[in-house]
Structure 1
Amino acid sequence: MSKVVIKAEDISKQYRLGLVGTGTVKDDMKRWWYNLRGKEDPFLKIGEANDRSVKGESDYVWSLRDINFEIHQGDSVGIIGRNGAGKSTLLKILSQVTQPTTGKIYTKGRIASLLEVGTGFHPEMTGRQNIFLNGAILGMRKHEIQRKLDEIIAFSGVERYIDTPVKRYSSGMYVRLAFAVAAHLESEILIVDEVLAVGDAEFQKKCLGKMNDVSKGEGRTVLFVSHNMAAVKSLCTKGIVLENGKVVFGSDAESAVNYYLTNASQVKDTSIADRTDRIGSGAIKVIGIDLINQKGEIVDQVISGDWLKVRLNLNINLGVIDYSKLFVGIALRDQEETRVVSFFSDEMGTDFTKFKDKDYIDLVIPQFNLRGGMYDVAFQLSLGSTRVDDFIDGLEKAMNIDVLPGDFWKSGKLNRTGNYAILTSNFEN
């Protein structure tokens, strides 16, 4: 039987919203006094689960609560769950970036982590210097790093810039080098968060192949967070499903993905107007979405290839919005959580100034070119740019769109329902 390399015992992590630490000297003194007398921390008795779909009453939130699991050497484990489920917090605790509020983590072996772009890199140092820095942090000797250096540089694809300070790298170059370092240096455990989305499709495929080699060929342990359920099923042998900071399911990867898709990831019955798990300043709030066909009728099904108008019904909360600077994005994910298409108003040349006296805006999609199937819809509204800092409203899983097969190519034959990839058995005949 393979040995246990990671063990979590009753791991919990509490945050106080808007503040660092407990927020006041009074609270810190209270904790110290209880600890001095051997009593339980009084702040552990308060707080709410991290459910962003409902409005909370407490300033204290449990990002994780009572997490227990064991991971064996050579396991490839996918950690899945909705946004805010606690996945990244768990990886930070496992990587010892932050400490749990309660509980203990036991690890055996060196851990290489890739949690977000730039983690562990010094911006003033070159790519080459950062490779040696990361290796030293992992406890490797210089000659060990030197032996892997050429392989790391070749895999990253940034040979031309390897002696340039990484502060001048693009986010894509950053993540390429960071992944190459994490995957090639001799650590027993590799922890990878959803940072691969920064890279292009070719590099993502390359990374997934390397992680597969690491876990199956080299016998190292991999923990992988991703919203790409197809990648989790193909790469991982085991799966852990988190929901509102708790482990709700743990089994083989196939069973974990199926549980997540049929239970944990279902769109809640809460109306869009009442959803609180949104991001943005709130200057505009989307309170409903209508799908409108070319006849002007509100529909709940769309035929593949048809003209479609997506109407966002708005509640304008703060002052006057400059509609000339408004960006709107609509993204769709399939039932395996893979984002398949995004529509952005600036790329489509949409002019929203004509809606400044209305309580809605429209985004017209001349050809809705998706195969038949059920899709989740996410939206974002921002002012000035599409950066997260400029968001005024955004929501994942706002609604479902049921797409029916259509005669997309005008050939007299309906296109198939299912996957979009060639060389797959997921098509329906």
Structure 2
Amino acid sequence: MKDIILKAENISKQYRLGQVGTGTLSHDLNRWWHQVRGKEDPYLKIGDTNDRSTKGSSEYVWALKDINFEVERGEVLGIIGKNGAGKSTLLKILSKVTAPTTGSIKSRGRIASLLEVGTGFNGEMTGRENIFLNGAILGMTKKEIASKLDEIIDFSGCERYIDTPVKRYSSGMTVRLAFAVAAFLEPEVLVIDEVLAVGDAEFQKKAIGKMQDISRGEGRTVLFVSHNMAAVETLCTRVISMKNGNICGNGNPTKIISDYLQSSSFSERKISFDSIEKAKGNENVKILYAAIENASTGFIDDVIDVTSVIDFRMKIVNRTKQERISIGYDLRTIKGDVVFGSGNKFDCSIGKITELICQIPANFLNDDVYQVHVYFHTDGMSGLFQDMELLTFEIKDIKRESGYLRKVNGIIRPSLPWTINKS
């Protein structure tokens, strides 16, 4: 028998655009009139899908629509999706911060939420006082909280400031203490929404380790929303992917993450602009053209195989007052891991188009999805412009896709020479 600790049944959430609250007085009266006659809310039949990038035809929008899933005790469930997919709305409903328009949530035990930096903290109270306040909200006694106090303070790394009002904490200190409170006060379900991104690398590592201990060692449940796909894949036992308020994938973390990352919406191998005014950039630098080109075939739009030579090509306009500027880029996997960085200082004529080409050799990159993070600096290394997602492209292994090979391990797969010496 499954030990279900959290269950979402037909969860939907509707919002009215451009207004505070659910709507006008006439709408509320219409809802009431339908309710007293035992009829369905008339506004549940209208509303657009939650695609934030398009102009809709309705003043109502469905942030979530017919969400159904179950979570077992001890499971770590990851929730992924682009901004606006409905992830945070779902967590707020699960945490009972807001109510669903339709559907119901069934849960067993205490739910601790870490939805935004400083959620549930009183800025005028000290860190120590906020620990007791949050524990009381979770239904714990003062004695239970006191027994965990030293562990919470030690894990947060905020001992020096624990008797200082929280309003004087940095965002990193606040999230450290908030996570420590949520994790150590032993809720049955821990809900975390992207806030770990505020902490430094050392804290993120500690937090992920603690979440693993919570689920595996203590049998408690974690719901984890993050854009860090590497962390989601490492931590989670199951992943749900969301798009426009709907669940579009549910299952094995590696497969769901791979399907999500390789969706067509991530593909932008080339950008091109016909004027400097329309080009990407700012008052310092404009990028008129950027592309990942298949240098092996000479055709820009050809599929890039692992055996292809790749040209990263840019046409830029230097709009600073100095000809010599520093230009570089990081190549990252779509999960955020840096494969390599490359850059140099170049003489770029002011106000004129300069073309730059960086060649990536064949048999170097593994089959995966990659992003180009480009950055420009002055000769003295003061920042001019950067774009963390300038281009996105996919490397394919045609032989592997034909069924001959399994994927080679690692981010890169260089063709290295081997020799054999026989005695």
Q: What is the deviation of 1:272?
A: 7.3
In structure 2, the CA distance between the partners of 1:309 and 1:268, relative to structure 1 (3 Å rule), is closer
Amino acid of the structure 2 residue aligned with 1:338: G
Amino acid of the structure 1 residue aligned with 2:83: N
Q: What is the deviation of 1:224?
A: 0.8
Q: Distance in 1 between matches of 2:208 and 2:175?
A: 14
Structure number with greater Rg is 2
Which of 395, 400, 424 is the aligned partner of 2:393?
400
Q: Distance in 1 between matches of 2:242 and 2:360?
A: 37
Which ranges of structure 1 fall in alignment gaps of 5 or more residues? 274-282, 314-320, 382-392, 404-416
Q: Note if contact 2:365-2:411 (Cα within 8 Å) is conserved in structure 1.
A: no
In structure 2, the CA distance between the partners of 1:126 and 1:331, relative to structure 1 (3 Å rule), is farther
Q: Distance in 1 between matches of 2:328 and 2:140?
A: 45
In structure 2, the CA distance between the partners of 1:87 and 1:364, relative to structure 1 (3 Å rule), is farther
Asked if 1:372 is matched to 2:370, the reply is: no
Aligned to 1:22: 22
Aligned to 1:105: 105
Q: What is the deviation of 1:155?
A: 0.5
Aligned to 1:208: 208
Aligned to 2:333: 334
Aligned to 2:50: 50
How many residues are paired up? Answer: 379
In structure 2, the CA distance between the partners of 1:184 and 1:365, relative to structure 1 (3 Å rule), is farther
Q: Note if contact 2:292-2:311 (Cα within 8 Å) is conserved in structure 1.
A: no
Q: What is the deviation of 1:379?
A: 8.0
Secondary structure in 1 matching 2:248:
strand
Aligned to 1:409: none
Q: Distance in 2 between matches of 1:228 and 1:105?
A: 27
Q: Distance in 1 between matches of 2:46 and 2:330?
A: 37
Aligned to 2:275: none
Q: Distance in 2 between matches of 1:187 and 1:203?
A: 21
Q: Note if contact 1:376-1:397 (Cα within 8 Å) is conserved in structure 2.
A: no
Q: Distance in 1 between matches of 2:415 and 2:105?
A: 46
In structure 2, the CA distance between the partners of 1:146 and 1:184, relative to structure 1 (3 Å rule), is same
In structure 2, the CA distance between the partners of 1:330 and 1:180, relative to structure 1 (3 Å rule), is farther
Q: Note if contact 2:76-2:235 (Cα within 8 Å) is conserved in structure 1.
A: yes
Q: Distance in 2 between matches of 1:31 and 1:98?
A: 19
Aligned to 2:266: 267
Q: Note if contact 2:7-2:105 (Cα within 8 Å) is conserved in structure 1.
A: yes
Q: Distance in 2 between matches of 1:146 and 1:265?
A: 52
Alpha-carbon displacement from aligned partner over 1:39-95 (angstroms, at most 9, x marks no partner): 111211111111234432322211110000111111111111222211111111101
In structure 2, the CA distance between the partners of 1:76 and 1:170, relative to structure 1 (3 Å rule), is same
In structure 2, the CA distance between the partners of 1:24 and 1:420, relative to structure 1 (3 Å rule), is same
Aligned to 2:405: none
Amino acid of the structure 2 residue aligned with 1:76: V
Q: Note if contact 2:112-2:182 (Cα within 8 Å) is conserved in structure 1.
A: yes
Q: Distance in 2 between matches of 1:255 and 1:144?
A: 41
Q: Distance in 1 between matches of 2:7 and 2:228?
A: 25
Aligned to 1:39: 39
Q: Note if contact 1:77-1:239 (Cα within 8 Å) is conserved in structure 2.
A: yes
Secondary structure in 2 matching 1:146:
helix
In structure 2, the CA distance between the partners of 1:123 and 1:236, relative to structure 1 (3 Å rule), is same
Q: Distance in 1 between matches of 2:256 and 2:32?
A: 41
Under a length normalisation based on structure 2, what TM-score does the superposition of the two structures give? 0.72
Aligned to 1:69: 69
Secondary structure in 2 matching 1:13:
strand
In structure 2, the CA distance between the partners of 1:107 and 1:365, relative to structure 1 (3 Å rule), is farther
Amino acid of the structure 2 residue aligned with 1:87: K
Q: Distance in 1 between matches of 2:374 and 2:15?
A: 27
Amino acid of the structure 1 residue aligned with 2:163: D
Secondary structure in 2 matching 1:145:
helix
Q: What is the deviation of 1:250?
A: 1.4
Q: Distance in 1 between matches of 2:74 and 2:238?
A: 11
Q: What is the deviation of 1:231?
A: 2.0
| Correspondence list, 1:144-155, <5 A | 144-155=144-155
Q: Note if contact 2:267-2:393 (Cα within 8 Å) is conserved in structure 1.
A: no
In structure 2, the CA distance between the partners of 1:331 and 1:195, relative to structure 1 (3 Å rule), is farther
Which ranges of structure 2 fall in alignment gaps of 5 or more residues? 273-281, 322-326, 376-385, 397-407, 417-423
In structure 2, the CA distance between the partners of 1:29 and 1:164, relative to structure 1 (3 Å rule), is same
Q: Distance in 1 between matches of 2:393 and 2:159?
A: 44
In structure 2, the CA distance between the partners of 1:184 and 1:226, relative to structure 1 (3 Å rule), is same
Amino acid of the structure 2 residue aligned with 1:217: G
Secondary structure in 2 matching 1:186:
coil
Alpha-carbon displacement from aligned partner over 1:273-321 (angstroms, at most 9, x marks no partner): 9xxxxxxxxx9999975579xxxx99788x9xx99665589xxxxxxx9
Q: What is the deviation of 1:124?
A: 1.2
Secondary structure in 2 matching 1:10:
strand
Secondary structure in 2 matching 1:20:
coil
Amino acid of the structure 1 residue aligned with 2:336: T
Q: Note if contact 1:372-1:418 (Cα within 8 Å) is conserved in structure 2.
A: no
In structure 2, the CA distance between the partners of 1:116 and 1:367, relative to structure 1 (3 Å rule), is farther
Q: What is the deviation of 1:332?
A: 6.1
